[in-house]
Amino acid sequence: MTRRLLPSGEAALLVECDSLDEVLALHDALEAARPDGVVELVPAARTLLVAVDPGRMPLESAATWVRRIPAEAGSRVAGAHADAVRIPVVYDGDDLAATAEVLDVSVDELVARHSGIEWRVAFGGFAPGFGYLVSEAWPFEVPRLEAPRPRVPAGSVAVAGAFGGVYPRQSPGGWRLLGRTAATLWDPASNDPAVLAPGRRVRFEQA
């Protein structure tokens, strides 16, 4: 696994990897052996930010820890987030039928594939509480809409590229809408505001 370490201010390191699989494997390995002084691990599509408290863990020590931790792409440490989030979905999205046609499957098969597998939050982004979901059991590369919608309702369950996601609030968006959920996935008043935090396991259940 390639790990390029770059300083990011006085209290963080940015680790560059070659693929999302490498990011996920490294995130899990670091989380499983997280020492005192590591404040936060923030994964993205090709990078992992390691934030530390320099008074407890100098950046030099953090860099040594990151370089030495064993991890290989495709290897995951199970149980970092043991309890899967279960999200009830009404599969009546505006793009459901068209997406099934694009993927050359029936609507029923698309719903069964989406709801019959376990997803994982790879990283967050786009909007507070939005998690980019991946699954080794999801076989599709879904084209985005040619023109994004100016308003996507909160709770919209969507797919694009190799990712799944749920819009936590109304916003513009170009992902294909498969359904909707009434689940609250972003609560800024909570101590743990983002339900779909990186590493979380997710199951969609047909409502």
| Domain residue limits, the chain | 4-68, 85-206
Name the amino acid, one letter, at 191: N
Domain 4-68 has CATH 3.30.1360.40: yes
Q: What is the pLDDT of residue 74?
A: 57
**Is 194:178 a contact under the CB 8 Å cutoff?**
no
Instruction: Determine the topology of domain 85-206 in CATH.
Output: Cyclophilin (2.40.100)
Q: Per DSSP, what are the bridge partners of residue 159?
A: 164, 176
Radius of gyration of the chain (CA): 18
How far apart CA 43 and CA 126 sit, in angstroms, is 14
* Whether the predicted pLDDT of 173 surpasses 80: yes
Mean pLDDT along residues 94-119: 98
Helix (H) or strand (E) holding 107: helix 107-115
Amino acid of residue 53: D
pTM reported for the whole predicted model: 0.87
pLDDT of residue 2: 80
Residues 82-109 have a mean pLDDT of 95
Fold equal for 4-68 and 85-206: no
Among 165, 145, 148, 149, residue whose Cα is nearest residue 157? 165
Q: Does the pLDDT value for residue 73 go beyond 80?
A: no
Residues 6+ apart with CB under 8 A from 126: 132
Through-space distance between the first and last CA atoms of the chain, rounded to whole angstroms = 41
Q: In this prediction, what percent of the chain has a pLDDT beyond 90?
A: 81
pLDDT band with cut points at 50, 70 and 90 for residue 75: low
